[in-house]
Each structure stands twice: as C-alpha cells, then as structure tokens.
Structure 1
C-alpha cells in the first residue's frame, strides 16, 4: 500500500505544510463517538457528500480494519482531527466502526489490582 503521507501536504524537511485543523475545516469535535481503540473499516460504498483529499487518504488506510489511533499515526495528524474525518465518512456511509472498549461511554471498568501489581513488579525489576 502506498504511504498516504507522500505528496504535496508533507515535506521531508519542513514537515506538514497544511495545519491539522485546516484538514477538518476548523472543526474539533466529531459528530460520531470514536475512541482511540475504535476499529474502523471502509464499506466500499461511494461516500454520500463532498470530501477532500484527506478523506480519501483515510478511506485508503481503512481498506482493512484499523484503529483510530493507527489512522491518526499514519496520517500524522491529531486524533481529534481524524475523528472528525471519520465522522464525516461514517455519516456518508463510506465507513463503519466497531468500538472495542469493553465499557459503555461514561462507565469505566477498573483493572484487576493483582494484574497491576504484577506489571509494577515487572517494571521495577527492569529498572
């Protein structure tokens, strides 16, 4: 798969030539709920609406199921911007999502204290 960061929006020496929030037209809030762990996948259906180059890049990355965090990392833009783009595509029918978070929004599951102690012990042994 070609690297979607190649092209006129990214320069090796200068970095990103377009500010991240320009990509989302200044919007900072997604209209759909996405976490960093949400898995997204392109449906293959044509998107309903007018979308820019960044939307096409997101769709290319989503040909196989991928997390929101992975899309943000590959696009080299903040996750908030990617969530806005993903919301646009989901509303246009070009993308579906599946939340892997075991707890519904607003309700958090506390981790097992024994597991946390084991992780802490392992980390302390490495230091």
Structure 2
C-alpha cells in the first residue's frame, strides 16, 4: 500500500495523462505548417463522422475534437482551451485527423490581404455615379 506522501496527484485532479502519452511522444506533425492558432478545423461530412467512430486508432481526444468541430468550425486555440490541452498537443492530434481525412482546415484571410476600405468606398461611389 502506498502512503499519502507517495501520491503525485491530489484526489480532485483525478487520473492524469501526460501530454506526450496522448501524442505518442510526438511534438510536431507533418501538417504543422497549416495549423496556426487561428486555423479553423472543420469536421468532414456525417458519413466521415461514422468512419471516425469506427476507427479504433483514434484516442478519446481525437473523438472530442471531431465532436466539437462537427457543430461549427473551431480554431486550434479554441480547441486547446475547450479540451484543456496544450496547443502543441492539439496541433499533433488535429494533424492526425487531417492526415486520416476526418477533418479539414480553413485558414482565415490575413488582414493584410483584405482589400483596403478606401478602395471599396471608391468602387461603391463609382457604381453609384453610373
């Protein structure tokens, strides 16, 4: 029997799984370049959700990500916060799902690539002048 001083977690914490165990020791994924904090993760179709549930290689965390992204597109940062996992772990898990075609990524348009408001006003004014 172990003494109380030998316990490395408290009763309120419950079972603890280290992040490297969730990612099988991986700290990055081949899809890492696509997965910045604001990248939106979207679950594929309902049929793919069924396939994901039948995929026994997926962890409960993978399935949680699929479930959260089924309802609406969710950023990598939001997933990390919702699942209470480090961003690096979420990137690896989402990379796994991306590789298995269970999700896809939408990258928002950076503000620098959006059209300038003054140009849009000039176009509107030009159209009104016609």
Q: What TM-score do you get using the length of structure 2 for normalisation?
A: 0.64
**Superposed CA RMSD:** 2.3
Report which of the two has the higher share of helix: 2
Is 2:107 the counterpart of 1:99? yes
What per-residue deviation string (whole Å, max 9, x for no partner) do you get for residues 58-115 of structure 1? Answer: 1111111010000000111111100100011011111010112528xxxxx6xxxxxx
Residues 38, 101 of structure 1: 8 Å contact kept: no
List runs of 5+ in structure 1 lacking aligned partners.
1-10, 104-108, 110-127
Match of 2:38 in 1: 37
What per-residue deviation string (whole Å, max 9, x for no partner) do you get for residues 39-60 of structure 1? Answer: 0111031247721111111111
Count of aligned residue pairs for this structure pair: 94
Name which of 46, 61, 77 aligns with 1:54.
61
Residues 30, 80 of structure 1: 8 Å contact kept: no
Is 2:75 the counterpart of 1:67? yes
SS in 1 for 2:41: strand
More off after superposition, 46-55 vs 68-77: 46-55
Quote how far apart the aligned CAs of 1:22 are: 1.0
Q: What TM-score do you get using the length of structure 1 for normalisation?
A: 0.65
List runs of 5+ in structure 2 lacking aligned partners.
1-9, 113-130
Q: How far apart are the structure 1 equivalents of 2:26 and 2:19? A: 10
Quote how far apart the aligned CAs of 1:12 are: 7.9
